[in-house]
Amino acid sequence: MYDKIDFFIPLEFENFGKDTDKQIVIGNLELERQEIHKKIHYEVFYKKIRFRLYENGLYISNSISSIIYGNNTFDLTHLQLCRAIDEICSIINQKPSDLQIKSFEFGLTIPVSIKVKRILKRLLIHKNKEPKCEYRRANLTSVKFFHTDYTLKFYDKAFVEKIERRADVLKGNWLRSELQLKKKNIPKHIQTAEDLKNIENIKPLFDILMKQWGAVYKMPFINHNEHTKENLFRIYAISNPLYQEDRLDYVTKDAVRKEQQRHKKDLEEVGYFTVFDEIEKGLNEKFNSLIIVP
């Protein structure tokens, strides 16, 4: 569920930055002195989690899955998340309630029945934002919708893993859906690592992810052999949110809404949204499997 998380703990050290202080010890960690652009900090990595101490406090960042798996290939269950948080706190002698959240990524990886790039090509617009598409080795691997306080991301998890780890860790087609929340947009009930450990706080995050997925304009999968050219034009045109905006110059907003509803109903009857329905079902099943408490 959770991937990259940025924590912060306000800590002060009397000898911070002095030439005689080549190391600073926090709990069981020895942070080495670093200097970049004349700015001093102390840093160490533990299981790929970066601990970086500045004058105002300690910053902890990277994929929290690394604590359990050594990478971020697989989703953590809720119990694994709690174990990872407790291990971080133990190594620095701090309480989960001391770890303030600056930002985090919440998402799920699920298997899909077709190539992920075919799905990504059909994610057109999210709340008037067009996606930023990323290509790797000439393949569409991700689409990202950037907003002021959050980013919505969808990407080909198996393909990315194959490139970065040079191994087929995930077999088949795997879609990653992810929401990156910055400080301003983090729910008020989730402010510290202690809040992340509360299983009651997870469901609202999943609801946010599903709501954002539902707000993405998606181009349906069309069998061209089943339609005339005129009908194909109608299907593609009315599926396009930009076309819908242009229609407002000629007809009322209510008329456009009714056109959308009629068009969606027609497509649903012949199964053109089946793939997207499968994704929604897969996300629900995956989430429920991760929060099971034995």
What is the residue extent of each domain of the chain?
A: 2-218+274-290, 224-269
User: Which range in 86-100, 113-127, 184-198 is most confidently predicted, on average pLDDT?
Assistant: 86-100
Quote the pLDDT of residue 20. Answer: 60
* Residue-averaged pLDDT of the chain: 87
For 14-22, the CB contacts below 8 A with 24+ separation are 16/40, 16/53, 16/55, 17/55
Ranges of beta strands (E only) in 188-288 are: 216-218
The reported pLDDT for the residue numbered 198 is 94
Q: What percent of the chain clears pLDDT 70, i.e. is strictly above it?
A: 85
CA distance to 24, 28, 81, 162, per residue, from 194 (Å)? 26, 21, 11, 34
Arithmetic mean of pLDDT, 206-233 = 80
b/e 8-35 (16+ beta carbons within 10 angstroms → b): bbebebeebeeeeeeebebeebebebee
Closest CA relative to residue 41, chosen from 58, 30, 54:
54
Structure tokens at 120: 């990504």
Q: Which two tokens mark 106?
A: 């919440």
**pLDDT tens readout for residues 237-274:** 666 666 667 777 778 888 877 877 776 666 665 555 67
pLDDT of residue 270: 53
- pTM assigned to the model: 0.83
pLDDT recorded at residue 115: 92
CA-angle at 274, arms to 180 and 3, nearest 5°: 20
Record the tokens describing residue 206, joined without a space: 């999943």
Which token pair is 126? Answer: 């999210």
Please state, for a pLDDT cut of 90, what percent of the chain lies above it.
Answer: 57
pLDDT for residue 251: 80
For 262, the 3-state DSSP assignment is: helix
Arithmetic mean of pLDDT, 188-204? 93
Compute the distance between CA of residue 263 and CA of residue 255 in angstroms, rounded to an integer: 12
Could you read off the pLDDT of 103-113 as tens digits, one per residue? 999 999 999 99
**What pLDDT sits at residue 16?**
72
Give 61-114 as a DSSP string.
EEETTHHHHSSSSSPPPHHHHHHHHHHHHHHHT--GGG-EEEEEEEEEEEE-SS
**pLDDT above 80 (res 6):** yes
Residue type, 142: S
Q: What is the pLDDT of residue 220?
A: 75
- Give every CB contact of residue 171 below 8 A, 6+ residues apart in sequence: 158
Q: Give me the mean pLDDT over the 36-43 stretch.
A: 86
Which range among 10-14, 90-94, 135-139 has the greatest average pLDDT? 90-94
Closest C-alpha to 5, from 162, 158, 183: 183
| pLDDT confidence band for 232 (50 / 70 / 90) | low
Looking at per-residue pLDDT, the higher value among 58 and 138 belongs to 58
Summarize the chain as % helix, strand, coil (round to 5).
40, 30, 30
**93-102, 211-220, 228-237 — most confident range:** 93-102
DSSP string, 143-202: EEEE-SSEEEEEEEHHHHHHHHHSS--S-S-EEEEEEEEEGGGS-TT--BHHHHH-GGGH
Mean pLDDT on 112-123: 93
Note the pLDDT tens digit of each residue in 162-179. Answer: 887 766 678 899 999 999
- Is-contact 197 103, C-beta < 8 A? no
Span 25-54, mean pLDDT? 91
